[in-house]
Chains A and B, each alone.
Chain A
Amino acid sequence: MNMDALNISILGPGFLAGLLVLATHVPLGRQVLKRGIIFIDLAVAQMAGLGVVAASVLGWDTHGVAAQLAAVSAALIGSVLLTWTEKRCGDVQEAIIGGLFVLAASGGILLLAYNEHGGEEFKDLLVGQILWADLHTLGPAAIVSVVVLLIWFSIREKLGRGGFYVLFAISVTVSVQLVGIYLVFASLILPALATRKLGRRAGLTQAYALGVLAYFSGLVLSALLDLPSGPVIVWTLAGLAVMLSFLHSKSASD
């Protein structure tokens, strides 16, 4: 047991980062699950990474604004592509998403084969570590999240398919750098999975509550057990999601 690390100033910024990620990913996740395009976040995050690598190969500054623009642009290109394929051949959309994922991932390796600049940024982009979050980087992420949420809960219906992919690309690019690809995937899919049989309002509320509880308990557990925080939170998310699904299936059978 390690009580030292149980400190709000150590765990607090990570918890805030988690709340930001949950804020956008819980509603997006329900949509992703409904459409059956589970691996879209892996593909979009991988495209964002490819954008950073491309920027570095072109000799641009891989830190700061240029890299962020490259990442978002590549993610947007990916989402435009996916909007188009969903229209043309929606029945195999999940397979196309998988194809895009491996292409983006191996494209990054090919670009890096003769130019390793950007290798670290590529890695950073996909394995952001939740404990390294600080208020300085959370500010811009918070603004993006608020804008995404405002659009999502007001005029989403009018934006249609393309609007969904654009919002999704922006959210994932931001959150993957804060908490890493595993936590992004878990935050997107697991709360949505546990509440899939509930109505919109109850589903959202319970999914949010599950997410917040999982980030909180995961951070506390990782401090007490001295384990890396991101992977522990993935496990608390999964554990709580299983428990919630079990409760729902029990009450349904009663």
Chain B
Amino acid sequence: MKKIIFKIILLPALFMAGFPAQAALRVFSCEPEWASLAGELGGDKLDIFSATRAQQDVHYIQARPSLIARLRRADLIICTGADLEIGWLPVLLRQSANPKVQPGQPGYFAASEFANLLEVPDSVDRSQGDVHPFGNPHIQLDPRNIAKISAALALRLQSLDPDSADFYRQRYADFDRRWREKIDEWNERAKALAGMGLIVYHRSWVYLIDWLSLREVGALEPKPGIPPSAGHLASILKQIENQDVALIVRSVYQSSRATEWISRRSEVPAVVLPHTVGPTDGTDDLFGLFDTLLDILLDYTQ
């Protein structure tokens, strides 16, 4: 009897252990862009789950049981950090009760720790409104940040899964080479864009604007997270009269009503720009994301 039990239960287990497991690390990603980056660096060594989809506003999330279950089994969590996920990540980490992925542990990777952050306040003063003490968290729209973050993430993968360190090193070297070539190409194409004026919906494009030397003329949200008021929209219209504005931009999850309202009155075109991997055609990976961003912006330059 014991022998049969041994055969049924233990043998398959030994058998499976003999082969390298298909996925060595289970990765929980807060946003699609980090899931995509992890895929570039880890290939099929990683079992990657993204908590949010490209069509979703990452500031808010609906609690599903599977989110807790996934995080409970994860070896590594990759998030933007800088308070972007403040509304749901702390409570999700607590509910997961997974010691490996708590802040400060090797299994917790906050991408913003490795990026150049913009708009970091000199002093946090509550009278200034909703100040992000860590700076603007929408870091993924500058490919130079992606380069820095990928280097740090590659090191993290090597230390969490040392048996495959060579594999991760190779994949990173390959990714980094292709990425830097692409940055040169994008910089070349983007020369025509310098100085282009944008009206944005939410102030989530500052990294793109900084990288490409665009101009942010105004934001439809008077303050982050506050919907546009009539008075504020009127002052935006005034700004458009006085300054050269080429485009009004929003993300897929933001309402088109305010951007269309401004567009109808000012005759400045309003478009959706992809803000991560996956929201629109052609943005299946990080390369495609920046290709598409430049394609759209170049379409609207005179």
Contacts and interface: CB of A to CB of B under 8 A. Distances in A.
Contact of A223 (B65, B73, B91, B224): B65
B226 A131 contact: no
Contacts of B223: 116
Interface residues of B, number: 24
Closest 9 CB pairs of A and B: A5-B65, A228-B62, A131-B63, A223-B65, A5-B69, A129-B63, A4-B69, A5-B66, A226-B66
Interface of B: 62-66, 68-70, 72-73, 87, 91-92, 94-95, 97, 126, 129-130, 223-226, 229
Contacts of A132: 63, 91-92, 95
A230 B63 contact: yes
Contacts of B87: 120
A130 B63 contact: yes
Contacts of A10: 65, 68-69, 72, 95
A98 interface: no
Contacts, number: 74
B73 A4 contact: yes
Interface of A: 2, 4-7, 9-11, 13, 59, 112-113, 115-117, 119-120, 129-132, 134, 219, 222-223, 226-231
Given A131-B95, A134-B94, A2 B66 contact: yes
Contacts of B97: 9
Contacts of A7: 65, 69
A2 B69 contact: yes
B62 A5 contact: no
B94 A219 contact: no
A7 B68 CA distance: 10
A242 B226 CA distance: 40
Contacts of A231: 62
A248 B265 CA distance: 59
